[in-house]
Structure 1
Amino acid sequence: MIAAGSASASVINCSDLDGNLGDKVTPNQGCQVLEPLDGNVNTSLTVVNNAEFFGYSDWLFDGKYEDTNGNLINDPDDPATIVSFNGDAQSGTWELVVLDFWSNFENLMFAFKDGADTNIVAYDMLNGALGGAYATPLTAPPFDLSGAGEDRDISHISVFYRNGPTKVPTPGSLLLVGIGLVMLGWALRRRKDPAPAATA
């Protein structure tokens, strides 16, 4: 089992596994599973960043939805504020609550968790998506559910996001700054040059 603070956690792309996990949550631009497949690791921020889901170690935690009597509800202790889920522990829909999310942030990730014989299944949602559908990705295959059926209920869905990249000035802005610096240099040089002497 991988400890919560382990630096050796690794992920595997869903496309490298049986079970078509990549199709379970849409629209997405990537799907990964924490190894080992039967690790039963929790979706803590430390685990997510140490495992570098989708190549990033700077994920931020928003909140989570959890299974309560077969229905997914917003966790009162860690409420999600970016998205809402409407459905049960097997399937449903999701939608952005913060409609200008993509103007301010780069990535949105949903991390699905169940329990024994499974591990975290995470989806990097398609940039610009406003909503979509989900179905439990905790299935056999790829997980060995040992006679417990082919689909496990979702215990909870944790929502993570990443800030956008630092804005780099556009070439037009750089040109204006350059012209301003040249003019400043010219003005300072002109002040240093003594006035020519008057001729008699």
Structure 2
Amino acid sequence: MSGSEHIKDEQQGTIVVNLHKDEYDVYIGRAGRGKVGYFGNPFDVRVFGREESLRRYEEYFLRRIEEEPVFREKILELRGKRLGCFCKPRKCHGDIIVAWLEQHEEELIATARKNGRAQREQPDEKSIKRAKQFHLRMLARKLTPEPVRTEMRTVQERDHELYVERQRTLLTGGD
């Protein structure tokens, strides 16, 4: 079932549906099989388990909302739409999107009015660069095993302790 078969009704609220069983407006699964996957959860349930995958996605989602104006605008445009994902009726990253949309209803209304009056602004170069850097950091985190990340943090802490000790030695004249 494709999204074009369903007529959008903003009064119904945003919902997540199983894309194999229900009509949907916007695909929110991962990229693949001809789908873009812009709204997809990069944290695979088969790798992280459902709860951990959703926990990581929520952190990822909230960072993107805060740091990427274009992503935030695209999320705001999901208001009142049926979001299609494979997960439903199980817990889904789409539930996180819907919860955020419900919490930001006033902003959604203001954005809808703004979009009705003026064309959307293009993102500046700085925003684009920050978005790319953010995606690279998230990808690196996803691909780096937890034991390696733990060791990296330990080394970082040791380096900081050595730096502080050196500064202290320089200030006290070696005493």
Q: Is the shorter-chain TM-score for this pair beyond 0.5, marking a shared fold?
A: no
**Range class of TM-score, shorter chain:** under 0.3
| TM-score normalized by the length of structure 2 | 0.27
| TM-score normalized by the length of structure 1 | 0.25
Larger-Rg structure? 1
Q: Which has the higher strand share?
A: 1
Q: Which has the higher helix share?
A: 2
